Amino acid sequence: MITSTAAKVKVDPRDAKLSMAHFFVAFSALALGGLMGLLQTLVRSGKWELPWGIDYYQILTVHGVLMGLVLTTFFIMGFQYAAVSRTTGGHSSAARRAGWIGFWVMLVGTLMAATMVLLKEASVLYTFYAPLKAHWIFYLGLTFVIVGSWIDGAAQIMTYARWRKNNPGQPSPLLSFMAVINTVMWIVATLGVAATVLFQLLPWSLGLVDTVDVLVSRTLFWYFGHPLVYFWLLPAYMCWYAIIPKIIGGKIFSDSLARLSFILFLLFSIPVGFHHQLTEPGIDPAWKFFQVILTFMVVIPSLMTAFSLFATFERYGRSKGATGLFGWFRVLPWGDARFIVPFIGMAAFIPAGAGGIINASNQMDQVVHNTIWITGHFHLTAATSVVLTFFGISYWLVPHLTGRRLTKAMNKLAIIQAWVWFIGMVFMSGSMHIQGLLGGPRRSAFSTYGGSEQAAEWIPYQIAQAVGGTILFLGIILVLIIFVNLAFFAPKGEEEFPVAEAENPEEKAPMVFENWKLWLGITAALILFAYTIPFIDIIQNAPPGSKGFQTWSKW
Amino acid sequence: MHMHKLEKIWLIFGISCLVIFLTVVGVSAFYLGNKPPSCLTTVNPETVGQEKPFNEPGLHKVDGKAWDYELVYVASAFSYTPAQVEVPLGAKVKVIATTKDVIHGFEVAGTNINMMLEPGYISEYTTTFDKAGEFLIVCNEYCGAGHHLMFSKIEVVK
Amino acid sequence: MAKTVLKTNQKTEMEDRSSLKGTLASVFFLGIFIIVTWVSVYYLFVDRF
């Protein structure tokens, strides 16, 4: 009875419109960014060259910005906005207005930055490390994207706050709680990148100041850069914890532990940026190691997540009569794209997580730092675990929002898509990992390095990456076909927005989880503890600042 | 809030693994001296070519230090100076490098010598070259149009 | 006699339905995978100069 009414709960059509607007931008970014990715792997194979004066590092910038910033931010904001709407009963008109303003500000910022990249005024990659100096419009565009995301995220927070006010003493709906945790983490994290862009890079690119402090800028960037990857991951965890159990017909293993893991992510995702700077001069090794310890803390909620997910699957399987140690595995709904697409993402997180622990292991980073192993690593985390989960979400969310149905044919195509992605990624990411261990650098066009024997060993792996990249591009074409079908052509009907219930609904989540003063206080304390002293050191012991350089090729 | 008994076992196991990993790298770093390159010395990037030791890039024998040689590099878009050196097998070498312009990488492929070069900072790493052969130095941090053409070579000879 | 047999059957069935031994086995596979990969790269670090 409860489930049948829950199934009919729809996202308010006015909220649906805003979510879909986000998805159109996200999937456009996927189309263009994916094409750039394909071109990169082809160039790196050494068998093909870019035509018409297009530069490798220009398309690398386009790929990184579109996939890492545009696709992710727009998809996440659209999904979380819908999830909050679905679980709280809809946004207020004020929240909806904030959402639209945020959306347009982000879009304008994206177009500003994109224009500068296309004009070859900003071939600085998505990390835009000073003293490479891009056009000021590029930095201003990025500022708009960030500020827009704050306004967009404010919509979710407003609706959450209203729900809390109307339901005193009640734990908030799990999906809304998780969305707000992720938005809050995003806002705290983006303060760092906003600071470097607004106070260092914009004045410098406008010519108001002559030099920039490179290490301060990098440190502020990586203060943002690591929580950024958790900002991508947490919406996938939202789906795994709170949506997948409903899709398979099971229950959430523990609502409270799911909330606890999200709080741990909020606390430990941010004060860990030094693990991206382990091989850098100018930072005290003791502070690096301290942040390495904090980085290892953030593994714990993922260990909890792994247990919860397996437990949900096993409980469901055993309720269907499965026996033995792994009998439950066989009865999972392998024919349902809404399950199997994110499931492949979950499986990818096993090697992805293992690689992440290696990357964070202090001096062991010297084996892999800035080798293409790292590129292989985040193509498992972001470009498989996260993105396949996002695809899996859109396969029911897009028809839910457009009042259509995921047909049997599209379901089948979606499953094929996920396997194509998996195979492509085995080739691409697998060969990237191996080539990285052999020393092959990342972010590099094809090169024989003066006929070096070592570089010659890398080339077969680059050809494997081109094979993988081509298969992955086929995967992107399939996703786009499905997305366009679900947005415009699929038969009218009702597609459920699945929201799972906890195994023990009578066991209420402790209200302390909603105590934002407490969690924000601890977050701030950890950040201040991890960063204050080393940051003061960096500023006090700074060398003369750097003037700007434009070393990339221009039109 | 209730936690299943088996989940407790799993978390104790997992957290113990993390503690062991941290202990291993921590002891290796701070007791055995295998810290990642973290030199705190600064330099003026504009005048780097005139100052010691960067006015004479290359391999230098040194006396009375904990290492036998100093191997000095100056990086700039898109090359390293020197472009080629020979290092005697088994020599304990302090690699000292910096950049004149943008950020570069300094990775001796297939070794643990892998550090960032940032304008204004000196990067150092001391190690014993105990394997013979030719090793490629690659720039592994994007530095511009010629990033993939930026390399140097080290020959470790008997 | 027949009654007791039925009772034990029911009990094992209940235990089986709420059992999480497959979950424990799965996460331990995961843990072992993490250890093996970490140790391999640590070995590379120690082996290289």
Task: Determine contact: B116 vs chain A, CB below 8 A.
Answer: yes
Q: Is the pLDDT of residue B74 over 70?
A: yes
Residue A276 annotated to the active site: no
Question: In the beta sheet, which residues pair with residue B123?
Answer: B97
Residue contacts between B and C (CB atoms, under 8 Å): 32
Q: Identify the active-site residue in A177, A230, A473, A531.
A: A230
Chain B neighbors (3+ CB pairs < 8 Å): A, C
pTM for this predicted structure = 0.94
The class of domain A17-540 in CATH terms is: mainly alpha
Q: Identify the active-site residue in A91, A377, A405, A433.
A: A377
Chain C residues whose beta carbon lies within 8 Å of the beta carbon of residue B112: 45, 48-49
- For residue A228, the model assigns a pLDDT of 95
- For residue A428, the model assigns a pLDDT of 97
Tokens of A177: 């709680």
**Residue B29 CA: distances (Å) to CA of A485, B91, B127:** 55, 21, 14
DSSP secondary structure of A167-225: STTSPPPHHHHHHHHHHHHHHHHHHHHHHIIIIIIHHHHTTSSS-B-HHHHHHHHHHHH
Residue A427 annotated to the active site: no
Tokens of B63: 């006396």
Cis peptide before B82 (omega within 30 of 0): yes
Q: Identify the active-site residue in A378, A391, A395, A531.
A: A378
How does residue A9 score in pLDDT terms, banded at 50, 70 and 90?
Answer: confident
| Contact between A153 and A186 (Cβ < 8 Å) | yes
| Contact between A78 and A21 (Cβ < 8 Å) | yes
Per-domain boundaries in chain A: 17-540
- For residue A369, the model assigns a pLDDT of 96
User: CA-CA distance, B142 to A126, in Å (whole number)?
Assistant: 11
User: CA-CA distance, A374 to A444, in Å (whole number)?
Assistant: 13
Tokens of A25: 């931008």
Q: Do C44 and A367 touch (CB under 8 A)?
A: yes
Other CB atoms within 10 A of residue B81 CB: 15
User: CA-CA distance, B90 to A312, in Å (whole number)?
Assistant: 56
Q: Do B24 and C42 touch (CB under 8 A)?
A: yes
Residue of C34, C38, C48 best to disrupt the A interface, most CBs of A under 10 A: C34
Q: Could you tell me which residues come within 8 angstroms of residue A382 by beta carbon, excluding any fewer than 6 positions away?
A: A67, A68, A72, A229, A232, A233
Q: Is the pLDDT of residue A213 over 90?
A: yes
Which member of C20, C30, C45 has the closest CB to residue A363?
A: C45
Chain A residues whose beta carbon lies within 8 Å of the beta carbon of residue B73: none
**Average pLDDT score, chain B:** 95
Helices (H), A13-120: 13-45, 56-64, 72-88, 93-118
Tokens of C29: 């596979």
pLDDT digits (tens, 9 = 90+) for A474-506: 999 999 999 999 999 999 999 999 999 998 888
Chain B residues whose beta carbon lies within 8 Å of the beta carbon of residue A447: 148-149, 151
Residue A378 annotated to the active site: yes
- The burial of A7, by beta-carbon neighbours within 10 Å (0-12 exposed, 13-18 middle, 19 or more buried), is given as middle
pLDDT digits (tens, 9 = 90+) for A300-349: 999 999 999 999 999 999 999 888 899 899 999 999 999 999 999 999 99
User: CA-CA distance, A334 to A317, in Å (whole number)?
Assistant: 12
Q: What is the ipTM of this complex?
A: 0.96
Task: Determine contact: A320 vs chain C, CB below 8 A.
Answer: no
User: CA-CA distance, A410 to A429, in Å (whole number)?
Assistant: 27
How does residue A2 score in pLDDT terms, banded at 50, 70 and 90?
Answer: very low
Which member of A307, A318, A367 has the closest CB to residue C45?
A: A367
Chain A residues whose beta carbon lies within 8 Å of the beta carbon of residue C30: 306, 350
Residue A488 annotated to the active site: no
Chain A residues whose beta carbon lies within 8 Å of the beta carbon of residue B120: 214-215, 542-546
CB pairs under 8 A, 24+ apart, for A354-358?
A354/C33, A354/C34, A354/C37, A354/C38, A355/A380, A355/A433, A355/C37, A356/A299, A356/A381, A357/A296, A357/A299, A357/B18, A357/B21, A357/C34, A357/C38, A358/C37, A358/C38, A358/C41
SS3 B125: strand
pLDDT digits (tens, 9 = 90+) for A455-476: 999 999 999 999 999 999 999 9
pLDDT digits (tens, 9 = 90+) for B106-158: 999 999 999 999 999 999 999 999 999 999 999 999 999 999 999 999 999 98
Residue of A251, A313, A314 best to disrupt the C interface, most CBs of C under 10 A: A314
Residue A63 annotated to the active site: no
**Residue A164 CA: distances (Å) to CA of A143, A167, C5:** 31, 5, 53
Question: How large is the average pLDDT for residues A60-83?
Answer: 96
C-alpha neighbours within 13 Å on the C-beta side of residue A364: 25
**Average pLDDT score, chain A:** 94
- For residue A1, the model assigns a pLDDT of 34
Q: Is the pLDDT of residue C12 over 80?
A: no
Q: Is the pLDDT of residue A72 over 80?
A: yes
Q: Do B9 and C23 touch (CB under 8 A)?
A: no
Which member of B6, B14, B25 has the closest CB to residue C31?
A: B14
Tokens of A16: 């649906």
How does residue B51 score in pLDDT terms, banded at 50, 70 and 90?
Answer: confident
CA geometry: angle at A241 spanning A236 and A245, to 5°? 115
pLDDT digits (tens, 9 = 90+) for A114-142: 999 999 999 999 999 999 999 999 999 99
User: CA-CA distance, B93 to B88, in Å (whole number)?
Assistant: 10
- A447 min Cα distance to partner chain B (Å): 6
Cα dihedral sign, A378-C35-A264-A341 = positive
Tokens of A297: 């803390």
Q: Is the pLDDT of residue C14 over 80?
A: no
Residue A400 annotated to the active site: no
Chain C neighbors (3+ CB pairs < 8 Å): A, B
Question: How large is the average pLDDT for residues A22-49?
Answer: 95
Residue of A303, A318, A323 best to disrupt the C interface, most CBs of C under 10 A: A318
SS3 B130: coil
Which residues 49-68 of B are in CB contact (within 8 Å) with A? none
Residue A443 annotated to the active site: yes
